[in-house]
Structure 1
Amino acid sequence: MDDEPNAMDDEPMYDADRVVAPTPGSAITIPETANKFTIKGNHLTLIKGNQIDGRTKTDPHKHIHKFLRIYDMFKYRDTENEAVRLMMFPLSLTGEAKTWLDELNEGTIET
């Protein structure tokens, strides 16, 4: 077994050779009902404390599962859960994962 780190471990999850430009607007469409509440500070801390950076050694499926487990602890009265999840999800991304989200076309993610 090779103990040397693999150079690919620090590469972004998407192909680094392609040229992309950020898309104006948000890739995530948030329902208008989401404007009627504020995300609680301790909830933001939990989400930001469990961010994914998008490197190849990170598992996006595990991240989504963990994000949903953390999110399921939250309850917001008179607000659809889906809207809250859509607002919080970008906060769970950092580094290359955040870059990936920022490069998606506007309105790509609706659920």
Structure 2
Amino acid sequence: MDDEPMWAADRVVTPTPGSAITIPETANEFTIKGNHLTLVKGNQFDGRTKTDPQKHIHKFLGICDMLKYKDTENEAVRLMMFPLSLTGEAKTWLDELNEGTIEK
């Protein structure tokens, strides 16, 4: 199991201190299912000029709309999963934003 990609297994997700994304306070931690991570990772946006950010967001929101986590707002799930949908230059861009830049 150690050689499986991280998105192949269920994971507990908690907000990252100092993150550009402000996660709404939720009373519950929740586990993102491995197959949900696979869906998001399969639609990663790299920020290159030949990729379409609007198309990425549209697909990302469509994927997130299929995911339901009991007692957790869908908006919180989206905000927690969004960084996982980025790679390359797009991930670097997000990582370099000031803390709290993106919020509900």
Q: Report the TM range for the smaller structure's normalisation.
A: 0.7 to 0.9
Is 1:34–1:84's contact at 8 Å kept on the other side of the alignment?
A: no
Matched residue, 1:108: 101
Q: Unaligned 5+ residue runs, structure 1?
A: 1-23
Within the alignment, does 1:27 sit opposite 2:20 as a pair?
yes
Q: Which runs of 4+ in 1 moved over 6 A?
A: none
Q: Unaligned 5+ residue runs, structure 2?
A: 1-16
Is 1:30–1:110's contact at 8 Å kept on the other side of the alignment?
A: yes
Going from structure 1 to structure 2, the CA distance change for 1:27 and 1:35 (only over 3 Å counts) comes to farther
User: Residues 77-105 of structure 1: CA distance to partner in whole angstroms, max 9, x if unpaired?
Assistant: 11011000000000000000000000110
Structure having the higher strand fraction is 2
Aligned length: 88
1:97 to 59, 77, 90: 90
1:84 to 77, 87, 103: 77
Within the alignment, does 1:52 sit opposite 2:52 as a pair?
no
Letter in 2 for 1:57: K
The SS at the match of 1:79 is coil
After TM superposition, the score normalised by the length of structure 2 is 0.80
Larger radius of gyration: 1
Structure with the bigger RCO (C-alpha within 8 Å, sep 6+) is: 1
The SS at the match of 2:26 is helix
Is 1:71–1:85's contact at 8 Å kept on the other side of the alignment?
A: yes
